[in-house]
Structure 1
Amino acid sequence: MSIQKVTDKKDFVKILEDNGYDKVATFLTYPNGENDSLKPKKRAFLPQEYIDSDDFFSDINISNGFMFVGLNSAERTSDDEDEMINSDKYQTMHDVSKKSHDMSIYQSIQNTEAYGSFAMDIMNKFVQTTVNDSWINKICEELEKSPKEYVDNVMQISTLSPFDPYELFRFANDKTDRAKEYMSAKSNFDELTSKINELKKQGVDSEALKDERKPYASVMKKYDKEVTLPKLIDRFISIDAKVFVGIIKLLNPKCLICFGDKSYKLASSIVDHFDLNVAVEQVLHYSYTGSKDIEDITEYKRNQVKNIIDKY
């Protein structure tokens, strides 16, 4: 049995929702993008009534040949009590938290062929995990060495457990001693970092505190090397890569547009390993706010997307 491309929007959405992808994937449609009555960051949210409407199916686009790719879908908690926050479906890349830059995506794709495109992160259900460049390189290296497998189904991920190497989701009595040691070191590290930053603002020397912080950093680094990274590699090869391949086969895009170099490296590695017939392109991550070398970062990001659309 092989995965067949789905061309009907409602069939595609049904497969996503039946298999749990509505919690980790999305469509780049922003119905409140020009709603001046909302604060800018609030405009990213997809209200449930919109998701249930004909407008949603009119706006989403699974035939333009493009799929946008982020790095990791984080498990988030929010104290936002806004009444409009009434759904957890398709909220990836529609975050409304204070630190969100998701409306930058809207600014890059509005009134282009890319509007309404399907999008998902290449890693899913992460718990407070930062993925650095050396880890990305190691994952790609290990994927290349792993046996090639044929993905013939869209994986069911509704019951997929969060990737939790620090055991944050475990009860205290279930945590390993090493995880407890890590979290204790992290707590001390974060506390000292906060003090160091405060002294820096005051122009006061903080070398003593930096020296005090070093042992905690060593504990964290050792744990990540011996525990987190091996678990991450195993998770990516056994689950995330196959999840990604299944969705690519279902959508059958002509081009993956990756936000940032990390998702680009991983997507390229998967495409090569599984012999997928799809191009991979990279644009600046939507959280990137610019540098002195770029006069208008919004226009720069928009032009990157438009150039890829024109290319394909």
Structure 2
Amino acid sequence: MAEVLEIDQLVTEFATKKGLVPAVRGVSLKVRKGKTLVVLGESGSGKSVMLRSILRITPPGARLSGSIRYEDSELLESSPQQIQSLRGNRIAMIFQDSLSALDPLYRVGAQIEETIMTHQKLSRAEAKRQVIELFRKVGIPSPEERVRSYPHEMSGGMRQRAVIAMALACKPDILLADEPTTALDVTIQAQILNLFKKIQAEYGMSIIMVTHDIGVAAEMADEIAVMYAGKIVEFGEAGQILSGPAHPYTRGLMAATPRKGQRGTLLTIPGQPPLITQMPAGCAFAPRCPEAQASCTGVSPGYASLQQGHQAACILLNERSERRA
């Protein structure tokens, strides 16, 4: 199946008093047309920075290298004007906090109208009609009235639907969703995830969704990339990852997730993800890994191929593969 976006050895570095430090460290991913790739990992893993790097909306002074290809364009070499024409048009993003994503001084409908008018060159009246239809599509009640609401006059779930409507305004090819259900209760979360599925089926768009919630990944993903300390440590089809996690970090995430009917204390992963200014040598997960050996702190692990398309970056898995060979 054709890829609509290809990321190759992406590095995103930030300037600090200690020099340049990488938040994203050599990420390579392919996004297939009409499919959902879920990037899974704890807070601090570099997931959101990776999404922002795609649209080049990282803080001033950030340095990006590697390759991000969309269709025939290399996004890291595109001019600011070229990138601006893609943002919200061909590649749209839903931010984690819907309240901060909307300007509190302007009516929500007017903000979405501006997006439509910028990219489609429509009149204000035509853009407003489209916004009302978008509100209706994403399930906002009384859309003719709600387009005149300010962000603070909407509930969290309604604001999230409005942000989704804004992202869909120009029918993008790729939707980037950064923790889109984190602040919502379980009922609203389920509604939003069903909305994503409905919209994807209708528009045929590709989705990259960032989350730390394995339940969301199980509900949405065609493929899963597990990210830790700025790197992809495991990648595969959703069924492969969820039924047979291979990397110790992925297994730790799965073991720490509550399951229906489960009793007793959940397992936890000890410690915290490393700071980008204090990255350990070798495997970044080794200080927290219950299976770590001396070799894990030597060199950064390459990928071991497990099944068709299923890979994990673990020295122990590589050693096992070599012994079987």
Common fold by TM > 0.5: no
Between the two structures, name the one with larger relative contact order (CA 8 Å, sep ≥ 6). Answer: 1
Give 1 or 2: higher helix fraction.
1
TM-score under structure 2 length normalisation: 0.29
